[in-house]
Amino acid sequence: MEEEEIIEPKDFENEESENIQMDENEKQIPIQTTNDPQNKNIMRILVATDNHLGYLERDPIRGDDSFNSFEEILKYAHTLKVDMVLLGGDLFHDNKPSRSCLYRTMELFRKYCLGDSPVRIQFLSDQSVNFSNQFHTVNYEDPNFNISLPIFSIHGNHDDPTGEGGLAALDLLSVSNLVNYFGKTEDIDDITVYPLLLGKGETKIAIYGLGNIRDERLHRTFQKQSVKLMRPVESKDEWFNILVLHQNRVAHNPKNYVHEKMIESFIDFVLWGHEHECLVNPQASSVGEFHISQPGSSVATALSEGESKDKFVGLLEVYKNQFRFKPFPLNTVRPFIMDQIILANSNIHPTQQNDVIQWIEQKVESMIEQAKLKSQGKPNESMLPLIRLKVDYTGYSTINPQKFGQRFQGRVANPNDVLLFHRKKPTTLSSKKQKDGGELDVNSIKEKEEDKVKVADFISEFLGNTPNDRLQILSENDLFNSLHSFVEKDETDSILKMVDLSLKSTQKYLNSKISSKDAYPDFIAKYIDDNFPLPHQNVSSVNSDLLPINNPNEFESNLLDEDSHGHEHGHSHNHSQMIDNDDDENILNQRTIFKSPQSNKTAPTTTTTTTTTTSSQISTRRKSSTQSSTQSSQTSIIIDDDDDDDEINEDNDDNDKDFESDEEKTPPSKKRGKVKQVGSVSKRSRSKK
């Protein structure tokens, strides 16, 4: 093969899709007089992302799909004699992979990554900064292991660090020395990324890893310019800079993705994870000089159009500050055919349902034949195909998709969801405006996200309809995150930890800001106004009822004290138990209790009680509050959200029972009256007989 000029990145801009084929005559980057793939100056990196190991692992048909494709990727690494493998996140599908999934994954790594073959790349940066485990070393430099194929990976949104210790499944592979896990962020409000500095001969590469962070939070951090990529002090221009990230690339809403303009200008190549559509060929950025490769997932985790495209991994070859890229197809991926039909075009009357079913059945048959032709002669030829037919049934009635799919049992891999019925939505002014190039309509974008309905979306819609529906105490974002961790990542104590953390952070903040006893009441009211505004109310009106604290330094300790009312009724207070199952859930709506002094005594030091009291204690305070206007006993002023709709599975008509415990019920003769709102302070008047 004769020598050719080094291929510049710009040569990829007009590359045609038919070049995405394995071609043994493909030109290599010439270095001096040799095209040896193990040339001492060429860094060869196999890139892949979103492997989702363990996806549907219990499915009798599709259970092995993710492992088959990942093993094919590792075989490519051996065949192509690459120097390393670079993964872009979501190695695992589940945040807590099953024992079987971990076993099979470690089995593959041991089979393909251990051996006597020498590693030809040098690690040049401070390993204690790059790796968070206690060993602080790249695996192939550990004298206790024979690593022949180094694998570097960041985490994605599926396998991100959670729970006690902030550990991810990748930490298990890292401490086992099978994977070099990097890209973990300690402070998401102030992100500093230190690159992995690698060298091979005259080529130097800096790899910046940014594991998945919630897109809205990362967008806010970028806006504050608090994302810093640290560059080598010496010879900055000699490094080829690679950024690996796992975030939304498509704008699901204006603040839910990473825009290319947020990427530093000195970056040369971006490996983009998270998006499953395969766009593996490097595309020139519209705002910078870097190129973006989006390999997509190696297994279909959704029956969507993006997943139906052919899947590839890529070989990135770098020489100094120049590169070339070659895609390689994954032949073990299950065949997937997707199409759509419109029943109105069938010329069949809507009442002739049998004819409609027969017409749809013929279409599915043709799709199965198409899948056979697509996989003919490939390793996946014997696999049952995935078939997805979108049916526009506007003007027609639907049929049972599961019952229809039984006709193709044993012929397709997904008989229960072959059909997807949908209707045309009426054109609205906002959608027409979006089509004509107007403002971004977030609602229209969300409507296009099929099969992506989330519980958090329902909560957001419910809490955001009117101001009175919004949460007043807890943060909605924190609630969403804890709920997501509880459901998707099996973190059973995530909600409890969120409440505990919110309470402690509020207490710490208030205590740090109180510098003068005279400013205490005003500051508390302002803090509540700013952070937990009540709709159509003014919290500052509580100021006249509060007395200044005599000793501000006692504030923090008093927050953790047990309430005297609790002792009177024989109830103990456990500070570690944030939520008592015997209590009503709207105890969380309580904020802080400020006690006014007795009318016939000098003003004592104000005491403050946390919200973790039992319902009996709160009921006692309620009765004490109702008697304050006629008696000289202590009065409890409670900032309450009884009238809000924050309770889960509670009716508004049950507000009068919210604070009665099972152990102590209020006698009929002492029933409480309704709540009357005075400013932001809830007071109960005695019921009229």
Pairing of strands 291-294, 279-284: antiparallel
Distance separating alpha carbons of residues 653 and 671, to the nearest angstrom: 15
Q: Does residue 609 sit in helix, strand or coil?
A: strand
Distance separating alpha carbons of residues 674 and 623, to the nearest angstrom: 12
> Which of 481, 555, 517, 535 minimizes the C-alpha distance to 644?
535
Distance separating alpha carbons of residues 391 and 343, to the nearest angstrom: 7
Distance separating alpha carbons of residues 553 and 549, to the nearest angstrom: 9
Distance separating alpha carbons of residues 609 and 381, to the nearest angstrom: 68
Sequence-separated (6 or more) residues with CB below 8 Å from residue 81:
37, 38, 44
SS3 per-residue string spanning 39-50: CCCCEEEEEECC
Whether 536 is a known active-site residue: answer no
Q: Report which DSSP code applies to 33.
A: T
CA end-to-end distance (rounded Å), the chain? 103
Cα-flanking dihedrals φ and ψ of residue 686, to 5°? -65, 140
Distance separating alpha carbons of residues 621 and 618, to the nearest angstrom: 5
Sequence-separated (6 or more) residues with CB below 8 Å from residue 617:
563, 565, 566, 569, 571, 573
Angle of CA points 214, 499, 166, to nearest 5°: 50
Distance separating alpha carbons of residues 289 and 679, to the nearest angstrom: 58
Angle subtended by helix axes 494-513 and 476-488, to nearest 10 = 150
Answer yes or no: are the C-beta atoms of 563 and 613 closer than 8 Å: yes
Helical segments of 114-154, H only: 127-130
How far, rounded to the nearest angstrom, does the alpha carbon of residue 289 sit from its chain's CA centroid?
A: 29
The dihedral of CA 315, 280, 268, 216: what is its sign?
Answer: negative
Answer yes or no: are the C-beta atoms of 348 and 365 closer than 8 Å: no
* Location of structure tokens 């009238």: 643
Angle subtended by helix axes 520-531 and 494-513, to nearest 10 = 140
- As beta bridge partners, residue 314 has 47, 327
User: And the tokens for 267?
Assistant: 């970056």
Distance separating alpha carbons of residues 647 and 279, to the nearest angstrom: 46
Helical segments of 320-352, H only: none
Long-range contacts, 282-287 (Cβ 8 Å, 24+)? 282/9, 282/12, 282/325, 283/12, 283/13, 284/9, 284/10, 284/12, 284/13, 285/260, 286/260, 287/260, 287/261
What stretches of 437-563 adopt beta strand conformation (E)? none
Q: Report which DSSP code applies to 624.
A: H
State the catalytic residue, choosing from 52, 93, 158, 219. 158
Distance separating alpha carbons of residues 69 and 301, to the nearest angstrom: 13
> Which of 559, 522, 562 minimizes the C-alpha distance to 542?
522
The dihedral of CA 304, 308, 309, 315: what is its sign?
Answer: positive
Please identify every residue annotated as catalytic: 158
